Amino acid sequence: MIKNCPKGISISPQPTNFGPIMFAGRLFEGLRSLSENGLDCVELSLRSISDVSPFELKKILEDQNLFISAVATGQACLFDQLCLGCSNPDQKKRTVDHFKKVVDFALEIGSRAVIIGGIRGRLADAGDEYRRNFDNGLKAIRDCAEWTDKNHIPLLIEPINRYETNWILTAADGRKILDEIGIPTVKLLLDTFHMNIEEKSSVQAVLDTGNRLGYVHFADNTRYPPGQGQTNFRDILNALYQIGYSGPIVTEALPLPDDKTAVENTAKFWKDMEINGGK
């Protein structure tokens, strides 16, 4: 198994209706649970930079021997209509400005990356209007990428399944976006739940992405923590081993049957993988 990859879980500091998040609104309790279960890092799913005090957060991270693997930004689109793919220019500008503030906040709290996933939103899907909105959305992503590159923090772009968005669905779509942006510090985030829907082969998606892969989400096909469904994680781990991946592997999954058990099941998954062997 790829033992050198930090393992973590996604948590929202504030209560949220976004489902695949653990300990939403109970951040410090969640961080203690991660530490007690031997995990290494936390991904913060933020709606606003006011969601958590940087001073208090850094103190408990130090106390619990954890670090922030990335800051996720999708809640701003889901709840505040701050979406990079929106057709309104003023709204798009507000979204880019919000994202830049999140980047500054991520630097303050020591995050190792920032994610563009759900903050893309949906594009108007009618002919020429879709193409025009795609081009404008791509420009907005490039603006964000230039800001992260200037501030020396990696940007991660996450392909998401067709039921949640209508652009950048597959790893191949994501690699095309990387080509369009042309900034080496921008990488892909591949999520096993989304790949289960969109890819012909999750393993091949990982292999084809190669060193352009910067981050991984693990969730089973049920969107429960890994090992609670039928996804073949051993094959995916072997593919990650083949490409020399050493970045974080973070569980972004439903907190079922409850938060505490979901964290424990995630930790158990990793222990089982290690005991039963793997690359």
* 8 Å CB contact between 174 and 157: yes
Biggest distance spanned by C-alpha atoms of the chain: 54
d(C-alpha 250, C-alpha 262), whole Å: 13
Given the residues 43, 198, 199, 252, the one annotated as active site = 252
Amino acid at 111: S
Give how far the C-alpha of residue 100 lies from the chain's centroid of Cα atoms, to the nearest Å: 17
Active site residue 252: yes
DSSP assignment of 175-204: HHHHHHH--TTEEEEEEHHHHHHH-S-HHH
Given the residues 29, 108, 158, 198, the one annotated as active site = 158
Give percent helix, percent strand, percent coil of the chain, each to the nearest 5.
45, 15, 40
7 in helix, strand or coil? strand
Residues classed as catalytic: 158, 252
